[in-house]
Amino acid sequence: MKLLLIGHTERYPVEQLQMQLFPDEPSEFVTHRFTGDGTVSSLSRGKKYLTATAKVTKGGKTGFASRRIPLENADVRMTRRILQQSYYLAATKVLGTAPPWGALSGVRPTKLSTKCMLEGGSETDAAKLLEKTYFVTPERSRLCVDASKHTLEAAKLLEPGDLSVYIGIPFCPTRCSYCSFVSESIERFGAFLPPYLEALHREIAYTGKLLADSGYHIRSLYMGGGTPTTLSSPQMKELLRAINDSFDLSRCLEFTVEGGRPDTLDEEKLRVIHDGGATRISINPQTMADDVLAAVGRKHTAAQTVEAFRQARAVGFEDINMDLIAGLPEDTPEKFADSLSQVLALNPSNVTVHTLALKKGANLFQNRTVLPTNEDVSQMLSGAETSLRAHSFVPYYLYRQKYMSGSFENTGWCRPGFTGWYNIYMMEELHTILSLGGGGMNKINLPAGQLERFHNPKSPQDYIARIDTILHQKDEIFEILHKLAQQPAPNEEECE
Ligand code: SF4
């Protein structure tokens, strides 16, 4: 879809929304008048008001809308807001439907409700902000406000010098057809695993020394991937020993190991993980329908998931997360509801309901597989919400991704007392995250809500080759952390 701006240069907020509302139409920025499909977004300044107007044309239908604000309120944030609002209102006239997340295009919609509540706003104020200003549906705003309540709890637990650590294992037994992560299958890239672990052990030991001298301490630790349990039991034991030898975990609230694929788990490995200090584990069926598992190339069965869950309980795991994905090929609302009821019968502490996101790197995308419709996915998610709430689960964090079926969301649900802290710290950017291993991103929280990012190389091969540079980068990161620790606490952020 063409996009022409008149009287302003705020391309990003309008274009992001256009890409979200018309995901099948590549966006094309133009600087001249055009005929046919596209958007004209204009901004005009009168004597009293700043007015944003949008004209959206698609398939012979045209929608117009405008929003205005008094000139005295026309700062950058409010200007972007009226540009987005006018675009959204015009586009929905053409679409004939209202998307679940309204005019919000970011990956972290809860940030708005959390900010509002952190600044003293009530749950009703936060819901009103989402629904009236950004046109979010009441169902989604309820998810956000519920999740924000957990963020407030997580924020209260923070102490000066807190940070969290992520350790990445970008290997999997085989590659799922919907996967767009940088994760290498052991079948093809197994030879890289031993040198990868060697490099990772170096990074853990090095970071441990820097941390010990820094005055910072670990609040939560997350081993993700890929599938960390692709490691053999002896490899996992060595890795956990290195973690315990290098890091002081005495103030760590939670240590998660992502088991991911049930076919990588057995009782011995689960015992190693439990005895190595992990307090939480993920066992991810994605679906409990064997035909759907086969359709996405996951080489395990629902029965293996049940057995892995039983073994995890037997070795002592009380806190177990299970992931499901709405929108997989061959799935239906009925089968998805059945998957969830099989998962709930196991009584996990967390259930994370993802929506399929089809990125270009995924085989499923390349093969143009037929997927459940947006209406089906919507039914799956609303049915899941009803069941989860009936089983005393509440949403504790959520996020969105690009290219999600129906433009919905991923939601982490927990039973009371089992909030997944790392997920909140990371997603709500409440404190610094140190990333170790391939594919991770170090994010340092700076004053005034700013972040400084340092990427680790994505592929295991690059990670192995560049380990010395990565260790040097850790020095840089700790220099920044050291400077931050010397600064006085920042003032409270201003209210909206
Ligand atoms: S288990 Fe996860 S990371 Fe591994 S291939 Fe499947 S989707 Fe990708």
Separation of CA 229 and ligand 1 centre (Å):
12
Ligand 1 atom, smallest distance to 260 CA: 1
Span 284-304, average pLDDT: 94
Number of helices followed by number of strands (H, E) in the chain: 17, 18
Tell me the β-bridge partners of 168: 224
63 vs 105 pLDDT, higher one = 63
Instruction: Indicate which residue's Cα is closest to atom 8 of ligand 1.
Output: 179
Nearest ligand 1 atom, CA 185? 5
Whole-number pLDDT of residue 106: 83
Amino acid code (one letter) for 134: Y
Res 131: pLDDT: 96
* Residue 153: predicted pLDDT: 95
Please, are residues 68 and 82 in contact by the beta-carbon 8 Å criterion?
yes
Is the C-beta atom of 130 inside 6 A of ligand 1?
no
Q: For 375-390, what is the mean pLDDT?
A: 97
Torsion of CA 135, 147, 109, 374, to 10 degrees: -70
pLDDT at 495 over 50: no
Q: What is the pLDDT of residue 368?
A: 64
Distances (CA, A) of 336 to 46, 99, 358, 494: 54, 22, 18, 44
pLDDT at residue 366, as a whole number: 65
Residue 439 Cβ contacting ligand 1 at under 6 Å: no
Ligand 1 contacts CB of residue 175 (under 6 A)? yes
Q: Is the pLDDT of residue 456 over 50?
A: yes
* pLDDT for the residue 182: 66
Least confident of 42-46, 142-146, 260-264: 260-264
Q: How far is the CA of 183 from the centre of ligand 1 (A)?
A: 7
Ligand 1 lined by 407 (C-beta under 6 Å): no
Q: Which atom of ligand 1 is nearest to the CA of 226?
A: 3
Q: Is 466 exposed, middle or buried (CB count within 10 Å of its CB: 0-12, 13-18, 19+)?
A: middle
Q: Is residue 261 within 6 Å of ligand 1 at its C-beta?
A: yes
Q: Which of 356, 328, 354, 340 is nearest to 410 (CA)?
A: 354
pLDDT of 395 over the 80 cut: yes
What is the rounded CA–CA span in Å between residue 276 and residue 261? 20
Q: CA 220, CA 254: separation in Å to the nearest integer?
A: 5
Q: What CA–CA distance (Å, rounded) separates 380 from 355?
A: 10
**Using a 6 Å cutoff on CB, does residue 186 contact ligand 1?**
no
C-beta of 283 in contact with ligand 1 (< 6 A): no
- Categorize the per-residue pLDDT at 58 as very low, low, confident or very high, splitting at 50, 70 and 90: very high
Read off the pLDDT band of 360 (50, 70, 90). low
179 CB under 6 A from ligand 1? yes
The whole-number pLDDT of residue 406 equals 74
Task: Report which DSSP code applies to 447.
Answer: G
Q: Which atom of ligand 1 is nearest to the CA of 284?
A: 1
Q: Which of 94-103, 142-151, 174-183, 394-403 has the highest mean pLDDT?
A: 142-151
Kindly state the greatest CA–CA separation across the chain: 74
Query: What is residue 488's predicted lDDT score, i.e. its pLDDT?
Result: 67
The residue whose CA is least distant from atom 5 of ligand 1 is 175
Q: What is the pLDDT of residue 162?
A: 95
Q: List, in sequence order, the alpha helices (H) in 297-439.
A: 302-315, 333-345, 363-366, 374-390, 421-427
Atom 6, ligand 1: residue with shortest CA distance: 176
Closest CA to 348 of 380, 305, 291, 410: 305
The continuous run of DSSP H or E covering 275 comes out as helix 267-275
Indicate the pLDDT class of residue 20, thresholds 50, 70 and 90. confident
- Ligand 1, residue 183: give the atom nearest the CA: 3
Name the strand (E) or helix (H) holding 21.
helix 11-21
Q: Evaluate if residue 180 carries a pLDDT over 90.
A: no
Q: Is the pLDDT of residue 311 over 50?
A: yes
Asked if 228 and 169 count as a contact pair (C-beta separation under 8 A), the reply is yes
How far apart CA 481 and CA 287 sit, in angstroms, is 42
> Considering only CA atoms, which residue is closest to atom 7 of ligand 1?
179
Ligand 1 pocket residue status of 113, Cβ below 6 Å: no
Q: How far is CA 309 from CA 106, 237, 489, in A?
A: 35, 20, 44
337 CA distance to ligand 1 middle (Å):
23
Q: How many CA atoms lie within 13 A of 101 on its CB side?
A: 25
Rounded to whole angstroms, how far apart are CA atoms 402 and 408?
Answer: 10
Dist. CA 181–CA 260, nearest whole Å: 14
pLDDT of residue 496: 44
Q: Is the CB of 181 under 6 A from ligand 1?
A: yes
CA-based Rg of the chain, rounded to a whole angstrom?
Answer: 24
pLDDT band at 493 (very low <50, low <70, confident <90, very high): very low
Give the pair of three-digit tokens for residue 118. Answer: 């952190």
Burial-class residue 205 by CB neighbours within 10 Å (0-12, 13-18, 19+).
Answer: middle
**Number of other CB atoms surrounding residue 452 within 10 Å:** 14
Q: Which residue do the tokens 């809500």 mark?
A: 449
Residue 178, helix vs strand vs coil: coil
Using one digit for the tens of pLDDT, what is the confidence trace for 25-55? 888 999 999 999 999 999 999 999 999 999 9
* pLDDT averaged over every residue in the chain: 93
Neighbours of 460 (CB within 10 A): 27
Query: Looking at residue 252, what DSSP letter applies?
Result: -
